Chain A
Amino acid sequence: MADQSGVLADVRRGMIPAHIYNDRELFELEKQRVFGRAWVFVAHESEIPQPGDYVVRRVLQDSFIVARDEKGVVRAHFNMCLHRGMQVCRAEMGNASHFRCPYHGWSYRNDGRLVGLPFHQEAYGGEAGFRRKGRRLLPAPNLASYNGLVFLSMDPDAEPLEEFLGDFRFYLDYYTRQSPTGIELRGPQRWRVKANWKIGAENFAGDMYHTPQTHISVVEIGLFREPKAQKRKDGCTYWAGNGGGTTYKLPPGDLDERFRYVGYPQQMVDRMKQMFSADQLRVVGDDGFMISAASVYPNLSFVHNWPRVADSDDVLPFISLRQWQPISEDETEVLSWFAVDAEAPEEFKALSYKAYLMCFGSTGMFEQDDVENWVSLTSTAAGSMARRLLLNSRMGLLEDGAEVVPALTCDQFHGPGVAHAGYGEYNQRELLNRWADDLERPAKPAPTLEVGVGEQARVGSPA
């Protein structure tokens, strides 16, 4: 494999070799060194509320059954039969107490345990030849959740999820903890785009600069009043822990007025005032910022916007979670969920869903234009000229590295991390710096498991 240290050094200077958005060798490295260790979102607990509910989700090519077992525990197992490797579950969602492999009929409980093995005695000599007891589908190497968001890491030694997310949890709460029950997720819509997965993650992390240009049409048709260039530039970006995002500056008002300005009914505002910390409320009420888009490294993003959903002046907020699931260096499967506070009034949920569909997802009027840009960028990055071009991702920095505008002080912005008002590419750099750190660090060999012979997992050579 080619030495990538020059590429990584350029990225750390904020100069991006254009080919990183369409490069097979880098993608092979990303598979091992980014997706082989990061915490990757797979599901939300609200998608599998009842015992036996399951969804099948992938991390790259690896398919996992994410199921709630009969005791209510959420588990994730590699979707491959221990016998000869057939896919155990070929549906993408459903409810099942057991999964029976269609090939030779081994069956597994929804907690992963192998419980049925036809002709165990005759074919294997029973437990003496093949110990069925205690055997289960290969569990996800690491599984954890925060606010009901279930993450999976391929690294058994991954740092705890809470540490991985770090202070970004402060911002995650705005999207996912508006009431004691939290959000419910619907979807996802799934579609494939011929674009590199990093572009969406960078865009949602901090690209306020594109909004007035790319999305001018949604302002012109009266859907969304905020993205006007002047208004967008008054917002700030923040980076904290392993994620960062963008905000809009709200007009003057107190906390309640500002939540209502984006369309939350008072009963939802009252619950948020119970749920959020003093500083979380100060960011809105005192500092006047409302969270909008965000990304958690490597490939999970969020949106919170407040368009008009009918022919009136009223706006209504919606939340979306989306994942940029890499297929190859030039293709990404987008999974886009609609999320809403589970305790919200039914009418609010219906209109918020409508707001989501109009703005984001496979048909969303914002998203349509984003994707066009990213597809075009990706195909242009394929050739040899792109290897001669270092793109400038230094917005917000002077040539000597000093900042164009100073970071907001803790009186101006009460959230953790570093925040800057106006346009900048601080967050895109933060995201790609983490990417460079990961790409630099070789992956450890993963343990392998022998089915039915050695009882111990052993460490083999990396795939």
Chain B
Amino acid sequence: MRAVRSPLGAHASPLLRTGRSLPFCDERHQRAHQWLVDEAWLLDAQAYEEWLDLLTEDIHYLMPVRVTTALGAGYDTSPGMAHFDEDKYSLSRRVARFLTEHAWTEDPPSRLRHHLGNVRTFATEEPDHLVVDSATLLYRSRGDVREASVVSAGREDLLRRTPHGWKLARRTVMVDDAVIRMQNLAIFL
């Protein structure tokens, strides 16, 4: 995954992966994998308050806008633009909105399924931090007239061990579409 700069990400941990992906039998990998699966169930259920508790205070949650560029261009994201470029405050507002009775776009709620795969875990220079790659495919179905929509993305996460368990400290979502085929992103990936 290419490094993507964001004007709002300066507060986040810059820790990088080291070495090759950990063997699947490594306990650190198993823990990270389970964390992602548990998270996917929370997102399917739109249990967003619980989800918010899994994020560190210095979270940076970034989903760049992908663009089609020539092979040699050296970039494939829109400079300085993203779909999500969030800190804990902005994520907390998004979650708070879903908890009002007036977030019409999710009333009635979508049927959501986050399909998770291709999980790889990497050590970092700090034992309390792991970098985890994964693929996610979100199936979102609303109402009974329109066809369901799908978003496919790769993710790179930084997980941090805290006194309250493992938490997400950084996430970069590389969506696979230049033009999103979903009416809005009133979801999380």
Contacts and interface: CB of A to CB of B under 8 A. Distances in A.
A220 interface: yes
Contacts of B184: 191, 193, 362-363, 367-368, 371-372
A379 B69 contact: no
Interface in B53-85: 63, 65, 67-70, 73, 78-85
A365 B70 contact: no
A190 interface: yes
Contacts of B15: none
Instruction: Give the residue among B68, B84, B103, B146 with the most A Cβ atoms within 10 A.
Output: B103
Contacts, number: 133
A362 B178 CA distance: 12
Interface stretch (B17-25, B28-36, B91-99): B91-99
Interface stretch (A6-14, A87-95, A164-172): A87-95
Contacts of B83: 189, 357, 361-363
Interface stretch (A347-355, A391-399, A419-427): A347-355
B45 interface: no
Contacts of A369: 103-105
Tell me the interface secondary structure of chain A in the complex: mixed
A357 B82 CA distance: 8
A171 to B, nearest CB: 25
A368 B186 contact: yes
Interface stretch (A211-219, A248-256, A432-440): A211-219
Given A94-B70, A190-B178, A353-B85, A358 B93 contact: yes
Interface residues of A, number: 48
A250 B69 CA distance: 44
B2 to A, nearest CB: 16
A91 B69 contact: yes
Contacts of A194: 146, 183
A320 to B, nearest CB: 11
B189 to A, nearest CB: 11
A192 B105 contact: no
Nearest to B94: A365
B90 A221 contact: no
B7 A375 contact: no
B152 to A, nearest CB: 14
Given A186-B80, A189-B65, A217-B97, A354 B179 contact: no
B79 A220 contact: no
B27 to A, nearest CB: 36
A368 B69 contact: no
Interface in A41-56: none
A82 interface: no
Contacts of A350: 7-8
Contacts of A186: 78-81
B90 A217 contact: no
Contacts of B80: 186, 353
B183 A371 contact: yes
Contacts of B143: 376
A221 B185 CA distance: 18
13 contacts: A94-B73, A186-B79, A187-B65, A192-B179, A193-B184, A217-B104, A309-B89, A354-B90, A357-B85, A363-B184, A365-B94, A368-B186, A369-B105
Interface of B: 7-8, 63, 65, 67-70, 73, 78-86, 89-90, 93-94, 96-97, 100, 102-105, 143, 145-146, 178-186
Given A186-B79, A218-B97, A372-B105, 16 more contacts: A91-B73, A93-B67, A186-B78, A187-B81, A192-B181, A217-B100, A221-B96, A309-B89, A350-B8, A353-B7, A354-B85, A363-B185, A365-B93, A368-B186, A369-B105, A371-B183
